[in-house]
Amino acid sequence: MSTTIPDFWQTAWDAAQPRLDAIRQSPTRTPIPRPLRVGQLDSEQLDHELLVILKEPLTKGLDLIKSAWGVDHEPELALLLRALLYYFSMWNTGATYGAKLQNLKCQVSSKAWSNVGSKAPSGLPRRLLLSHAGLTILLPYFHTRLRSRALSNAWPDAPSSDKRRKAWEALSQVESLHGALSLVSFVVFLWNGRYRTLADRLFGLRLEPVKRLVTRSVNYDFMNRQMVWHAFTEFLLFLLPLVDTKALKRRLLQASANIQPLSYLPIPSYFRPMLGLSKEKASTVERQRRGPYWSLSTSECAICAEEAATTVAHMIAPDASERSQELAASEKWMPEAAPTHPLNTPYITSCGHVYCYVCVADKILRAADDGGGLWECLRCTAPVL
């Protein structure tokens, strides 16, 4: 029994030698992994949604400038965005953003394009990418513009002998032919899963998985980034209404106005009065401060006079308010030139001047609500407490 078992295995080994030699001599072939059809279709849908997301804020921004710009220049916006997306995706990396989300990349299966010497940064032939971009980006733009021009000029309603009617019929036939070819190409794609669109089939571009082992998983890096950005924008939309931009702008302007860069330089003391940095001169100017209504009679309210002058100026001419302010700021302005505004419920402010209680209270409340600090007196420009 012990002598028959080795003979049996030896006989089987000898019989298998020709087959083993044939396997060793045959070229090793690994099965080509095929991407899932649903992944390729999802990548195309993701690219379309990305274009819509980027185009929407630009269209709204143009509508704010002029109401018709967003609609009139929509094809140009789509052309610009598609060109930028194509450059930063296909040209540089060899895959669209939707394909990256599905762990796919583009490969050239046509031998006519694979032997081209000039390569793009993505490793694909330059001529192939330029031709593919012209067919998928420029041609749809010209088609959209031509169709909109034909509809606006009533080409379909022209007589049958007119050139415009013939051009419209030719355009319709080309559109029908393109639709039929796209349908056939899509059916073939569903059969073998090689070429997703008609343009990819013409140029031999096919999507292949980045890794050899195809797994039914989606790359969530871009999705997580989009979710973080969406949450951040939602937080900003909630936070911005709580920020008083007018008060912030006013404080920045006041802070910049109070800063004197020359005061921090080592300038000799005898040069400082020439540059307006002397404290004595500043105190003299402080004592000589006068408001726009400094010469108004003490029996009248300066706030009422200011509001009346502004109202009359707006009724006379658009630029009359500026002239009234210049007139009020000049020292030659006399109280007789202004209408009489008696004091109603007089109130003495912290600077010693008298106003109507309602007027000065309204000014102080407005200044506090705007966040600009204290309201300045119209007679001496001193802050009113």
Domain ranges for the chain: 37-234, 248-287, 289-384
Nearest to 87 by CA among 42, 130, 123, 139: 130
Q: What is the pLDDT of residues 273-291, one digit of tens each?
A: 555 555 544 444 444 567 7
pLDDT more than 90, % of the chain: 19
In the chain the first and final C-alpha atoms are separated, in Å, by 119
The answer to whether 370 and 246 are in contact (CB under 8 A) is: yes
* CA–CA separation, 106 and 208 (whole Å): 6
Determine how β-strand 205-209 pairs with β-strand 104-108: antiparallel
Nearest to 92 by CA among 122, 129, 133, 127: 122
3-state secondary structure of 376: strand
* CA–CA separation, 373 and 284 (whole Å): 24
Model confidence at 102, pLDDT cuts 50, 70, 90, reads confident
Residue-averaged pLDDT of the chain:
78
CATH match for 289-384 among 3.10.20, 3.30.40, 3.30.360, 3.40.50 = 3.30.40
Nearest to 96 by CA among 108, 84, 79: 84
Which structure tokens are listed for 71?
A: 């609609």
Q: Of residues 344 and 31, which shows the higher confidence score?
A: 344
- C-alpha dihedral sign at 200, 203, 204, 205: negative
Among 117-121, 162-166, 216-220, the minimum mean pLDDT is found in: 216-220
Residue 1 confidence (pLDDT): 45
Mean pLDDT highest for which of 111-115, 210-214, 352-356? 352-356
Q: What is the mean pLDDT of residues 68-92?
A: 88
Total-model pTM = 0.51
Q: What is the pLDDT of residues 303-335, one digit of tens each?
A: 888 888 777 655 654 444 454 455 444 444 444
Q: What is the mean pLDDT of residues 236-255?
A: 74
For residue 4, pLDDT over 70 is answered with no
* CA–CA separation, 92 and 123 (whole Å): 8
How far is residue 356 from each of residues 47, 150, 351, measured CA to CA in Å?
66, 69, 14
Q: Write down the number of H helices and E strands in the chain.
A: 18, 6
The answer to whether 136 and 79 are in contact (CB under 8 A) is: no
Q: What is the mean pLDDT of residues 64-77?
A: 79
Which structure tokens are listed for 120?
A: 């793009």
Q: Of residues 118 and 197, which shows the higher confidence score?
A: 197
Region label for 123, one of left (φ > 0), alpha (ψ between -120 and 50) or beta (otherwise): left
Model confidence at 240, pLDDT cuts 50, 70, 90, reads confident
